[in-house]
Chains A and B, each alone.
Chain A
Amino acid sequence: MNPELLERIETYLLGQMEEAETQSFESEIADNEQLAMEVEQVKSLFTGIEASAIRERVGELIAAEETQKQGKSIRFRSVFAIGFAVAAAVAVLLAVFLWPKTEAQQLDALYAEFKTPDPGLPGKMGSSNNYALDDAMVDYKQGNWEVAISKFETLANDESASDTVLYYLAMCFAESGRDAEAIDYLKRAENLGGEYQQKAEWQHALMDLKRNEPVQVRYSLQRIASNPEHPYYHESVHLLEKLNLVE
């Protein structure tokens, strides 16, 4: 295969060929077995290059986790090497700074750890039916909570308001610290039983956590954790485990 042919096949496979040229090239491929084989071979090279990049990316993720674990282990051993005297001093300092936190402080810390901001929906260019929703979503994504609330509220006043509208209105209230209103709209989104029901259930549990209502949080999380197919199953199990450590 000469450089010119490789370049031509590449241009074709990368979708960079003009339409007329593509048609002519495909006719050539259909009539020429050798060319068809060369195209397939170059395609397999592309696959291999991509496969290698993906494999490396996965390897990096796993290695990062292992490094994190090793780092923890090395740090742990180093503390022993410093000796009891220093360890005792550290322990005193820790005792001063990490004096048992109140339950409220522990719940706040858990909320900060598990808080799950929703980035919003992508805009759908040219979708005039959803213009009002897209418009409100622009303000949502820019963090203009009050403007977004006003726009979503107009949509939510419609009797047939969708769970999307109710859910994002709730998220606006949550972001602007109006927790009770956020919970009201999350409940409405849950009750509609649509696409946003499960997201709303998770956010509802988080709002209860933020409001330091551990009994309510446990109740909500246990419902989610009883369904392994729930998209927030793992998070709920994880959060329940941590809640059990709160004193």
Chain B
Amino acid sequence: MPNQPFKASLKFRFGKDEDILRAIQSGDETAIDYLYQTYYQPIKLYVLQNSGNADDARDVFQDGVVAFWVNVREGNFQLTSEATLATYFTRICKNRWLDKIRSADFKRKASLDAVTEPMATDDVLSRMISTEEVSQLAVLFGKLGDKCQQILRSFYYEKQSLEKIADTLGMQTDSLKNEKYRCMMRLKELYHPRKS
């Protein structure tokens, strides 16, 4: 039973798989609300039933949504006649959990029997940027200072103007522009460290 009132209107908005893909392609965040309301509880249940805890479920679901979002935006994800979006999305999350429990540092014993057989989704998933890779990008971004994170997110993700961001942060636009450049170079160094 849902813990929050179910926003049934999202069902109308995203009646078809294509509606969700279109929303993600245009950067509409309500698609995230839909994915959360529809799939979080089943994924959480799956993780809990397979040796995980609530924190594991949260991490797996976050990674799954981020990987799905990025791949749809990059044009790496195409629906096929073999499987629905639900099948792909849950497969991404389950694979993420399987990767974690197979990793060397995961000591808890887990049963993998139910989910290791090949599925129709595997071919499509193999063409996507891996969940691990996308997750790593998000984690590294978190290593920037708060101010850098705010500047970069406001400008590149929320598409706010430099003037508006400068106003919010109490800075001059020119100083903000320089700061934005420094932040981007810091992020570049985190993502693509120069080999010495």
Residues on A lying within 8 angstroms of B by beta carbon are 1, 3, 6, 41-42, 44-55, 57-59, 61-62, 64-65, 68-69, 113-114, 116-119, 199, 231-232, 234-235, 238, 241
Q: Mark B122-149, 1 if CB is under 8 A from A, else 0.
A: 0000000100001101101110000001
B61 sits at the interface (CB 8 A): yes
B97 sits at the interface (CB 8 A): no
Closest 3 CB pairs of A and B: A48-B137, A52-B141, A116-B8
A61 to chain B, nearest CB (A): 5
Q: Check A199–B191 contact: CB distance below 8 A.
A: no
Residues of A within 8 A of B29 (CB): 54, 57
Q: Check B181–A3 contact: CB distance below 8 A.
A: yes
Which residue of chain A lies nearest to B2 when distances are taken between CB atoms in the complex?
A238
Q: Check A57–B6 contact: CB distance below 8 A.
A: no
Interface size class of B (residues with CB under 8 A): 35 or more
> Complex Cα distance A45/B137, Å?
8
> Complex Cα distance A54/B32, Å?
8
> Complex Cα distance A231/B36, Å?
15
Residues on B lying within 8 angstroms of A by beta carbon are 1-6, 8-9, 11-13, 15, 29, 32-33, 36, 38, 40, 58, 61-63, 65-66, 69-70, 73-74, 129, 134-135, 137-138, 140-142, 149, 152-153, 156-158, 177-178, 181, 184-185, 187-188, 191-192
Q: Check A54–B65 contact: CB distance below 8 A.
A: yes
A-B contact count (CB 8 A): 124
> Complex Cα distance A53/B159, Å?
13
Residues of B within 8 A of A50 (CB): 69-70, 73, 156-157
Residues of A within 8 A of B153 (CB): 49, 52-53
Q: Check B191–A48 contact: CB distance below 8 A.
A: yes
A49 to chain B, nearest CB (A): 5
Residues of B within 8 A of A68 (CB): 3-4
Q: Check B142–A52 contact: CB distance below 8 A.
A: yes
Cross-interface CB contact of B15 among A41, A51, A65, A231, cutoff 8 Å:
A231
Q: Check B8–A235 contact: CB distance below 8 A.
A: yes
Q: Check A58–B137 contact: CB distance below 8 A.
A: no
Residues of B within 8 A of A57 (CB): 29, 32
Cross-interface CB contact of B3 among A54, A69, A235, cutoff 8 Å:
A69
Q: Check A52–B58 contact: CB distance below 8 A.
A: no
Cross-interface CB contact of B141 among A1, A48, A119, A234, cutoff 8 Å:
A48
Q: Check A52–B70 contact: CB distance below 8 A.
A: no
Residues of A within 8 A of B13 (CB): 119
Residues of B within 8 A of A61 (CB): 32-33, 36, 40
Q: A49-B152, A55-B62, A238-B6 in contact; A44/B70 too (CB < 8 A)?
A: no
Q: Check B58–A47 contact: CB distance below 8 A.
A: no
Q: Check B3–A41 contact: CB distance below 8 A.
A: no
Q: Check A65–B9 contact: CB distance below 8 A.
A: no
Residues of B within 8 A of A114 (CB): 8
Cross-interface CB contact of B61 among A53, A62, A113, cutoff 8 Å:
A62
B16 to chain A, nearest CB (A): 9
Can you list 18 A-B pairs, Cβ within 8 angstroms, ordered by A?
A: A42-B184, A47-B70, A47-B129, A48-B137, A50-B73, A51-B69, A51-B134, A51-B137, A53-B157, A54-B65, A54-B69, A58-B62, A61-B33, A61-B36, A62-B58, A68-B4, A118-B12, A119-B12
Residues of A within 8 A of B149 (CB): 52
Most A CB within 10 A of own CB, among B5, B63, B141: B141
